[in-house]
């Protein structure tokens, strides 16, 4: 059974993490959008040193590109973790609501 204190804690969590969740999503999406730009810059740098095929290979193995991919992964983990916790809070509220309704109807 979920008590009222647990439900209230879930509601407060949702309220307190609105902006944080939005920011985490924005960071993840911005980094994802910049992925092509980072690879393009790395490709141009590598192209000055070799053939087109070599440049693609070198660009994808560059430290800047790999670092950017790591930032994307970390941003996605942060966003998805926050989103999952918020979804859990919503489930807690829904379960409490169902329990409360059943209690009021005399089922529980």
Q: What is the pLDDT of residues 21-40, one digit of tens each?
A: 999 999 999 999 999 999 99
Token look-up 């930032």 returns 71
DSSP state of 106: T
Confidence of residue 108 (pLDDT cuts 50, 70, 90): low
- pLDDT 10s digits, 38-70: 999 999 999 988 888 899 999 999 999 999 999
Q: Are 46 and 54 in contact (CB under 8 A)?
A: yes
Instruction: Tell me the C-alpha to C-alpha distance, in Å, between residue 31 and each of 23, 51, 81.
Output: 12, 28, 17
Look at residue 95 and tell me whether its pLDDT is greater than 80.
yes
Looking at residues 84-105, what average pLDDT do you find? Answer: 93
**Percent of the chain predicted with pLDDT > 70:** 98
Those residues whose C-beta lies under 8 Å from the C-beta of residue 9, and which sit 6 or more positions away, are none
Looking at residue 106, its pLDDT comes to 74
Q: Is 69 within 8 Å of 35 (Cβ atoms)?
A: yes
Q: Which residues contact 16 (CB under 8 A, 6 or more apart)?
A: none
CA nearest to 88, candidates 76, 96, 77? 96
């Amino acid at each position: 059974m979920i008590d009222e204190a647990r439900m209230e804690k879930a509601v407060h969590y949702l309220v307190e993490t609105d902006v944080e969740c939005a920011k985490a999503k924005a960071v993840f999406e911005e980094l994802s959008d910049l992925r092509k730009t980072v690879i393009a810059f790395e490709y141009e740098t590598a192209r000055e040193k070799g053939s087109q095929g070599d440049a693609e290979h070198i660009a994808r193995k560059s430290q800047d590109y790999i670092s950017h991919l790591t930032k994307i992964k970390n941003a996605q983990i942060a966003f998805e973790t926050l989103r999952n916790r918020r979804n859990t809070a919503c489930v807690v509220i829904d379960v409490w609501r169902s329990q409360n309704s059943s209690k009021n109807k005399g089922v529980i």
